[in-house]
Amino acid sequence: MLVVVQNLPVPLDRRVWLECQALRAHGYDVSVICPKGPGDPRRQVIEGVHVYKYRPPPAARGLLGYALEFVYCWVRTALLSRVVWRRQPFHALQACNPPDTYWLLARMWQRRGVRFVFDHHDLNPELFLSRFGPPTSLRERCELRALTWLEHQTFRAADRVISTNQSYRRIALSRGGCEPAMVKVVRSGPDTSAMRPLVPPQRPADDPYVLAYLGIMGPQDGVDTVLDVMEELVRVRGRRDVRAVLMGFGDCLEQLRADCTARGLDDVVTFTGRVDRAQIAEHLSAADIGLCPDAKSPLNDVSTMNKTMEYMAYALPSVCFDLTETRVSGGETACYAPAGDVTAFTDHVERLLDDEDLRVELGLQARQRVCDLLDWRQQAEVYVSVFRDLLGAAPRVPRPRSRTRASGATGTSGPVGWHDELGRAYVDLRAPGELEALVRHRGRRPTVVRLPQRAPEILASTPR
């Protein structure tokens, strides 16, 4: 099995990494081609997955820059696919978009009997419309037409299509012309056995509440809304009990940092940059509210936001703009503001800050919902079935159990099962009240109410 991804390195791309692990668990040999992250080696084997990485291109600027980036990545991927073939011939190629350019590589390998699976992560025509609006010039119309043509070619080349939600599946059937039997929905749910709250470090009872953002920081992601919210809370409403942690990277990161400084918010807003799984666990376990500032757009309205479910895995209530697929993920465990209404968004944040019981109720419901309905382990069976239908079942190979494997909703017994790979303690989800205590305090020491000391003569006369 060969998996191709251009958008993120692996295993940083959480969905792709979970897919690779699911295939390995069912006996398939798996190789991945992806760009290198900072400090990554060119070749490595991670938990049995062979990862081949190439140096990423410089940041693209303008139409010509993106075209050169796509060509560069395509050529590097095509060359590495031959390296993978020499190590172990593969029977299926899975390409994850963006971009929609690997259908041509799939056509080349299909001549050798390789089957092509399209893992549909993004809608590139909608991405164009979300970033630039409806085309108004001949050049823009040609660009949009080219993106739609590339998408159509990808659907045509695919033997199977994996959609991330029902909205994407409808597009595969209508615009892509796919037969219903060849398109399956595999949602990007978190593995709640690994993505679960840690016991946060103790901090003062009056430590500020923490608002968390986790995700890409591009023009369509609305991260500037977080700065609007913080400015409203701190500068206008005069709150001194809140700060924000923004985790991630993207085209707008440096611009956001400069904007934060210009607004005078550096003392209450922290940008972490790129974060790994251990850092995500640390920050989300200590946070109080998750933020989903994605504005309503042709892309965002029908896309599943991973951060929504990741917040839920750490028992965080969320504040979101009211988007179709965000409601499918969050259900009744999030607060929804009308699209584009930053004041209403801020009001929801302040309500959660001031209403501890509501914050606890929604946080506990969020953890329960993500475990019961959205967990990756349920999606993994559907995902693997796509390849089983195409290739037949691979021989199951027994795999050693990880000593640090953690539980999902119920837990594993023994002290090792209650710590992550860095030795940090998980919240004991089996113990009554432990998760509620975490959601209520997030490491802040509860305020102890001390009764006034009684005089000795009164104590002496008090019945025992």
Q: In 3D, which of 311, 287, 291 has the Cα closest to residue 200?
A: 287
Provide the token pair at 427: 């919240």
Structural domains present in the chain: 2-185 (3.40.50.2000), 209-373 (3.40.50.2000)
CA dist., res. 260 & res. 228, Å (int): 10
Written as one letter, the residue type at 136 is: T
- Say how far apart CA 338 and CA 306 lie, in whole Å: 20
pTM for this predicted structure? 0.85
For residue 417, what pLDDT is reported?
Answer: 57
Quick one: DSSP state of residue 262?
H
Question: Which positions of the chain have pLDDT values less than 50?
Answer: 397-416, 449-451, 454-464
The pLDDT score that the predictor gives to residue 463 is 40
Q: What confidence score (pLDDT) does residue 464 get? A: 38
- Sequence-distant (≥ 6) Cβ neighbours of residue 401 within 8 angstroms: none
Distances (CA, A) of 141 to 97, 126, 128, 395, 446: 22, 13, 11, 49, 59
Q: What is the pLDDT at residue 42?
A: 95
CA 8 to each of CA 12, 97, 121, 196: distance values in angstroms, whole numbers, following the listed order: 7, 10, 12, 23
User: Which residues neighbour 38 within 8 Å (Cβ) at sequence distance 6 or greater?
Assistant: 274
Tokens of 217: 């920081």
Strands 49-54 and 43-46: antiparallel
Asked if residue 213 lies in contact with residue 250, where contact means CB atoms within 8 angstroms, the answer is no
Please state the separation of Cα 40 from the chain's center in Å: 21
123 φ/ψ angles, rounded to the nearest 5 degrees: -105, 100
Task: Give dist(CA 236, CA 412) in Å, integer.
Answer: 47
Whole-angstrom distance, CA of residue 17 vs CA of residue 122: 17
Predicted pLDDT at 452: 52
